[in-house]
Structure 1
Amino acid sequence: MLDDFLIRALIAGLGLVLATGALGSFVVWRRMAYFGDSTSHAAILGVALSFAFSMPFYLGTLAVAVGMALLVAWLTGRGQGMDTVLGVIAHSALATGLLAASFIPGLRMNLDAFLFGDILAVTRSDLVWIWGGALAVLGLLVWRWQRLITASVNEELAVAAGINPKFERLILSLALAIVVAIAIRIVGALLISAMLIVPAAAARGFARTPEQMAGSATFIGALAVVCGLFASLRLDTPAGPSIIVVSAAIYAVSLVAYRK
């Protein structure tokens, strides 16, 4: 029989990949890996604010991630370079969050759990947040799917079809913010981007359509969660990094299969 904490970890991981499979595909297509990485780093400030004001850390993390997405959209719209804006905001927020954490004893002791994740410590209330956020992201992507695909393939074509590429980019940014908020407890701020990118990159070699890639990325992510948790249990290794390592191994296999 599996222990309750392991069942909760499995349910949490499967809820996460429900969102990261499709969203990670867009991250790969649109080369938004740095945006996801920057958002996850900035989320540490949200965690610090949540502890400081005694509120659920999911809300604090989501507020900071959404605020960053909106600020980046506003600054890039005023002619600022995307990479520069992301670098300045993400590192400033990360440094501010780490500084604030040094003044909060409870957070200072648990900071590693938010940096590297602690999927084995998720509670039933965490599962509600994780699955609620994942379903919200999935619903958002399904609602905008064709418009997002068109804007990702060719922005000029999207404009000709009456689609606003900037708005679709903002939709993806908000979806990323939600995923960061729900994933920080599972894989941590430093590994969220890997959970988005690696399964989607592995799925790319097997898929022929956008829908196939999104579905394959979800399946690969789920397989990585199951195998990573099993390896963590047998080898006594950290669960979050174990999941990412399994994803990377599947990606390596996909490269060989793609070349053949």
Structure 2
Amino acid sequence: MKIVTFNPFRTIGIPNIQYIKPEHMFQKKEREKIEEADICLFPEYWQVNSLVYGMKKKIFPNIQSFHLGHDKIEMTRALWSVCPENVPYTEILGKNKYNIENVLTTFPYPFVAKEIRNSMGKGVFLIENEQQFLEYAERNDYFYVQEYLPIDRDLRVCIVGDQIITAYWRIGGWDTFHNNVAQGGQISFDNIPIEAINLVKQTAQKLGINHAGFDIVFVNNTMYFLEFNILFGNQAFQTLGISVEKIIHQHIQTI
């Protein structure tokens, strides 16, 4: 099996692999390597359409993972389509005066406003007064506004291929609003609820996603998806001694 990777750090140890810098993909020699490859791993988002629709290549993560995970609007609409009861109350609105007033009269303080494309807890804001929302509105052409859920942790469930490879709590650190490890959150592998594992597996299967870290919270005995990230961190895997690369290699041989 001939494999091309555009991200060497996520594919260390996979055999028969060649690295191509993403920005070089249209150069003659590099294009020939892509054409000869059976599959291309971890392209950047801007490469995906050219690889799949133009060059007719298989990619990993698959195109569903890329398209649905690229921004929170597409992600939330996809989740609404398969598990609406597991999505916090959310409004997705264009920027105008009417929608600003609509948000301010609809959502009690505090509420959450997010940037459409961001990860690792960045671009997520706790809105506690009108001025804070107006500042958010000034910087964003689309509003992604969500009810505030009182939590001190969330559950990250990671799927590769069709299997859950690990799950862990991210417990709030110095910034109790953000539980992300990148924002000071701590990892715990204790008391992982099986119902969350099953929900993620079912949802990923329905959406056709084969590489993502899903973030779930529990409020009043209900599970809610916050988001999923197709490029998730590896600190938990290192702690457990899990080789994600081996699992990826096993999976892509079945595609």
**If the TM-score is normalised by the length of the shorter chain, which range does it land in?**
under 0.3
Query: Looking at both structures, which has the greater relative contact order when contacts are Cα pairs under 8 Å and sequence separation is at least 6?
Result: 1
Bigger Cα Rg: 2
Structure richer in strand, relative to its length:
2
In terms of fraction of residues, the more helix-rich structure is 1
TM-score using structure 2 length: 0.22
